[in-house]
A and B are shown apart, each in its own frame.
Chain A
Amino acid sequence: MVDLASSNPAIEIEGLQKSYGDVQALCGIDLEVEQGTVLGLLGPNGAGKTTAVRILTTLLPPSAGSARVAGLDVVKDAAELRAQIGLAGQYAAVDEGLTGFENLEMVGRLYHLGRDSAQERARELLDRFDLDEAGDRLVSTYSGGMRRRLDLAAALVARPPVLFLDEPTTGLDPRSRLGLWEVIEARVAQGSTVLLTTQYLDEADRLADRIAVIDHGTLIAEGTSDELKERVGGERIEVRLVRREQAQEAISALSGIACEQPSADDGVVRVPVRDQAGAIAGAVRNLDAARIDIDDIAVRRPTLDDVFLTLTGRPPEPEEVDEADPDTGEHPQEAVR
């Protein structure tokens, strides 16, 4: 298990590169993940997230650079390292021709837990993942959510100190996602370190202590969710006017409370503000005094979607933007324990 007292990072990546022929999948990544924390690895499709996970889990050798996981080199100490990690992949890697119990027992025995412990651990995990009733059914009869839970359970069989989760909730319904998040949070509370790749920004916002954004194989930003949002700009007040021709009047009425020049677009005035406290009240008073009618007024903070868009120049997968929940996106610290 993890020695929490020691300060060695659970994952250390230095100048990591991977190329396939002419294609450079990773162009020199440096990254550290502290023990007992969650790193969210974000990036568009093809950015190099899965390549990074495959190198860190010893499935692929790097072309250059080095990486250590749990203090072990991913190339030189690969055999020992495999006993320290758990991997849950993008595709639920479970055997459909076996039952849920047989799958977990097999993985336990391949971690060399011994037959009795492997069986005991399998029952325990089936119970925890709400699969106890389905445990003796063939996995081919499972729903997508059940397979994902089983896949994650398989990654946890040996209670590995470092977990790699490659898009663990892609394609799951909201309830199943929430359930998986809770399990991951519980593991972290027990001291595991997690590296999580995801395209769901609300997932990163909720689970990750720190977020790394990669694009075209390069690390383009790293920090806490708040730090990244800070980078793309602070809060702003958005005012929707009843009469859009009053936009210029509104801008002059509001420039007193703005920290930068307000802008207007299609009847919506955006006012960057430094201090949110009292900003709405002040804006309403000023607009009222100038006899400008307000249709709607709100404080808006940047979301990780804005971060993603600003940093990578393109939005995350379109269907996922729709699903991202702005509420969790705006209060990340409350959700992460």
Chain B
Amino acid sequence: MSDELKLIAAAKAGSADAFADLVRAYRVRLLRFLLTRSPSYADAEDVLQDTLIAAYRYLHSYDPRWRFSTWLYRIAIRNAAKLRGPDLVEIGDLRDEENDPLQQCIADSETDNLWVSARQLLNDEVYSAMWLRYAEDMSVNDISKALDRSASWTKVNLMRGRRVLETHLNGAAQQSEAYG
């Protein structure tokens, strides 16, 4: 039995310490993803907290055939979607640049961050699929489970997302050449 499965078994038995150990490695990864999906840093932290509480409370429903990270991301994506409310406002339109937590977290970086453009160009689901694929190195099957979509939907939308970003990058390169 792997360490992760041992911790899951202990957490299922009611050990909060075991669960805290289990999710320690995932907290920063989840927070990084949630920051790109939330209108503020505080919201992202709240969603992370809600996600971990929900995961602990409903740990009995976790199916060990899934990767634990896939299951956690599935909960996180649902909780992040609740932030948008029933009007389904795309998260890219929610905030001003000054208070944008993603902008704040890449402020020290010297080059443009492609995830900022991705958030503007892709819809929420495609963005999430792209994040899970390229930031988390998840397989297509895991992504489709996390998003509750078919594998074919995931493949097609990953391709579309890539195409949109490639077009954007090519356009940006041509523009910078034109300006010399």
Partners in one complex: no
B interface, CB within 8 angstroms of A: none
